[in-house]
């Protein structure tokens, strides 16, 4: 039986890709075994570990086991399925400039993908058709050189591995896929618990999310009496907020990151690196490696050199950097299973509010950008809840569909419905993850409001690391 003391090391050995992406050092070139045998070994570790008196680990063992039993760890999706994680890991190794580690990893890609293909052949549930189609498109592009693996024999082997997986997806997986986009209430509850670190009923989630959406709607209306869309159009047209191309964007981000500060009680916080990449993808934070070999990094993809208005993105810099993810994930020890998103994303959204209160978002444009982020977070969570459990879409009373969800998100943001289809499909692909921003931030705000001394509260809370919300609440309410 594994103990709490050796669980993290054993999990990193069984799932080195996930561990490396979370900042845990792993043997160079090591890849996860995605085959049925590999999944069984990880399940046995979860079932056979004695957490002792570690409440945070006990919560994770239960949540991770239920997540895997529902096949949510291996289901085909465009966001977090094994082919996507594997590609992210390998490209990170290539970017780190370690030719031996990257060559070993590239050479191992075909075996890892064959293992995943075998797992899909034994899947207990059929995958969603549009997710298979999107993953198939991505995998084919990587096989054809859409991702720069290099021109070595190992790179050619990796491309061939993705081509082989594409054939399996097209000929074996896609024909048996299902049209229904949701996973159902039972599997959704397991997904929500995995992402939040606490068990909450869909009914309670919906009530809390609707209350928060109403609150933020009212604040938006008060800040933009001329109408939110009119205000957004004016800020978009303001030349002072226009930034064009990767070089100018990087200079803007470096200046914003450099100006960010915090009086939160944290120690050991290193410098935040800015990484502007000329590729599509989401803005994200990569935590530093535990051995110091990699600094915390703000990754900001850009695929269009045209000027873009950045007034609504200032709050994103604080979310990903200071006082957000970099403060929590860049200094505190990570839990054995890695950060729990309900805590880490909830902290980052809560930290945006701390930045606002500290005067870091001084203009009406920046303040509105912050509020619109909160509003879209709540709307995305409600859309996520709707697609997977069948409850009405937000407070519209309408059933979920891609079009209805896109229109709902457009109504709650400054974006057009046509530009929100990927956001809608992201929620369908990654059940429960959209909850983490609003629900996690509500948890942090509740705990902060109950605290007597805010500075002592933040010192204790951040020192715990990004554990599940249930053990976080228990630790701070004693």
User: What are the tens digits of pLDDT across the range 284-301?
Assistant: 998 887 777 778 999 998
Please provide the average confidence, as pLDDT, over all residues in the chain.
Answer: 92
Q: Kindly report which listed range (166-170, 231-235, 301-305) carries the lowest average pLDDT score.
A: 301-305
CA 157 to chain centroid, in Å, comes to 29
CB 25 within 8 A of CB 291: yes
Count the neighbouring beta carbons within 10 Å of the beta carbon of residue 216. Answer: 21
The per-residue pLDDT for 5 is: 75
pLDDT of 146 > 80? The answer is no
CB 386 within 8 A of CB 206: no
The per-residue pLDDT for 23 is: 75
Residue in the structure block whose two tokens are 């934070």: 285
The per-residue pLDDT for 428 is: 85
CA distances from 271 to 245, 254, 297, 331, 458 (A): 24, 11, 9, 11, 21
Question: In the chain, helix, strand, coil percent, each to 5?
Answer: 65, 5, 35
Kindly indicate the confidence band of residue 478, based on its pLDDT and cuts at 50, 70 and 90. low
CB 350 within 8 A of CB 445: yes
CB 118 within 8 A of CB 36: yes
pLDDT of 141 > 80? The answer is yes
User: What are the tens digits of pLDDT across the range 319-363?
Assistant: 999 999 999 998 777 777 778 999 999 999 999 999 999 999 999
CB 287 within 8 A of CB 22: yes
The per-residue pLDDT for 33 is: 98
Query: How confident is the model over 423-444, as a mean pLDDT?
Result: 93
pLDDT of 425 > 70? The answer is yes
User: What are the tens digits of pLDDT across the range 68-99?
Assistant: 999 999 999 988 899 999 998 998 888 878 88
Count the neighbouring beta carbons within 10 Å of the beta carbon of residue 8. Answer: 18
Kindly indicate the confidence band of residue 436, based on its pLDDT and cuts at 50, 70 and 90. very high
Give the pairing of strands 49-50 and 2-3. Answer: parallel
Kindly indicate the confidence band of residue 1, based on its pLDDT and cuts at 50, 70 and 90. low
Kindly indicate the confidence band of residue 139, based on its pLDDT and cuts at 50, 70 and 90. very high
CB 270 within 8 A of CB 330: yes
Runs of H (alpha helix) within 224-363 = 228-237, 245-259, 314-320, 325-329, 341-357
pLDDT of 307 > 80? The answer is yes
């Amino acid at each position: 039986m594994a103990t709490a003391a050796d669980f993290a090391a054993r999990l990193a050995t069984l799932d080195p890709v996930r561990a490396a992406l979370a900042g845990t050092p792993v043997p160079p070139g090591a890849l996860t075994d995605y085959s049925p045998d590999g999944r069984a070994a990880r399940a046995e570790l979860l079932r056979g570990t004695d957490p002792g008196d570690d409440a945070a680990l006990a919560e994770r063992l239960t949540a991770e086991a239920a997540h895997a039993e529902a096949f949510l760890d291996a289901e085909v999706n465009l966001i977090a399925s094994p082919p996507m994680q594997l590609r992210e890991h390998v490209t990170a190794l290539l970017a780190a400039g370690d030719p031996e580690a990257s060559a070993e990893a590239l050479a191992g890609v075909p075996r890892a993908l064959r293992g995943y293909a075998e797992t899909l052949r034994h899947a207990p549930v059929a995958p969603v058709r549009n997710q298979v189609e999107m993953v198939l498109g991505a995998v084919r592009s990587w096989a054809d050189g859409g991702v720069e693996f290099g021109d070595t024999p190992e790179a050619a082997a990796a491309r061939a591995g993705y081509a082989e997986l594409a054939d399996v997806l097209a000929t074996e997986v896609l024909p048996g896929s299902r049209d229904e986009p949701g996973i159902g209430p039972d599997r959704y509850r397991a997904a929500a618990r995995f992402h939040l670190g606490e068990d909450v009923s869909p009914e309670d989630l919906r009530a809390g999310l609707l209350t928060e959406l109403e609150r933020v709607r009212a604040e938006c209306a008060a800040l933009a009496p001329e109408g939110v869309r009119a205000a957004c159009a004016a800020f978009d047209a303001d030349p002072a907020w226009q930034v064009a191309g990767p070089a100018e964007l990087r200079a803007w981000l470096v200046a914003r990151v450099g100006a960010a500060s915090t009086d939160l009680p944290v120690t050991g916080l290193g410098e935040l690196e800015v990484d502007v990449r000329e590729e599509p993808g989401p803005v994200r934070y990569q935590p530093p490696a535990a051995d110091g070999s990699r600094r915390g990094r703000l990754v900001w993809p850009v695929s269009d050199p045209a000027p873009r208005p950045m007034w609504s993105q200032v709050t994103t810099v604080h979310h990903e950097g200071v006082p957000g993810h970099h403060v929590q994930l860049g200094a505190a020890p990570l839990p054995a299973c890695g950060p729990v998103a309900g805590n880490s994303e909830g902290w980052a959204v809560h930290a945006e509010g701390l930045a606002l209160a500290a005067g870091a978002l001084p203009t009406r444009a920046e303040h509105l950008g912050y509020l619109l982020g909160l509003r879209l977070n709540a709307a995305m969570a409600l859309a996520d809840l709707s697609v997977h459990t069948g409850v009405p879409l937000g407070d519209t009373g309408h059933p979920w569909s891609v079009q209805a969800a896109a229109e709902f998100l457009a109504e709650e943001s400054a974006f057009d419905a046509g530009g929100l289809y990927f956001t809608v499909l992201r929620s369908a692909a990654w059940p429960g993850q959209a909850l983490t921003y609003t629900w996690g931030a509500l948890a942090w705000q509740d705990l902060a409001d109950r605290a007597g001394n805010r500075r002592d509260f933040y010192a204790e809370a951040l020192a715990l690391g990004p554990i599940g919300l249930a053990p976080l609440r228990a630790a701070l309410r004693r």
